[in-house]
Amino acid sequence: MTNGRTAKPVHLAVYDTLADWESGHATAHLARGGYEIRTVALDAGRPVTTIGGVRIEPDLALDELRPEDSSLLILTGADLWDTGADLAPFARKARAFLDAGVPVAAICGATAGLAREGLLDDRAHTSAVPMYLAATGYKGGGRYVDADAVSDGGLITAGPTEPVAFAREILGGLGVFEGELLDAWYRLFHDSDATAYETLQGAQG
59 is catalytic: no
Cα dihedral 62, 108, 19, 90 in deg (nearest 10):
10
Beta bridge partner(s), residue 41 = 61
In this structure, what are the phi and psi dihedrals at residue 133, rounded to the nearest 5 degrees?
Answer: -75, -35
Q: Which of 172, 174, 180, 169 has the alpha carbon at shortest distance from 204?
A: 180
Separation of alpha carbons 118 and 190, rounded Å: 31
End-to-end CA distance of the chain: 13
- Count of residues for the chain? 205
* Catalytic residue chosen out of the listed positions 26, 72, 108, 167: 108
Angle at 74 between CA 157 and CA 79, to 5 degrees: 80
Neighbour-count burial of 142, counting CB atoms closer than 10 A to its CB (0-12 exposed, 13-18 middle, 19+ buried): exposed
Report CA torsion sign: 116, 47, 24, 40.
positive
**Residues noted as catalytic:** 108
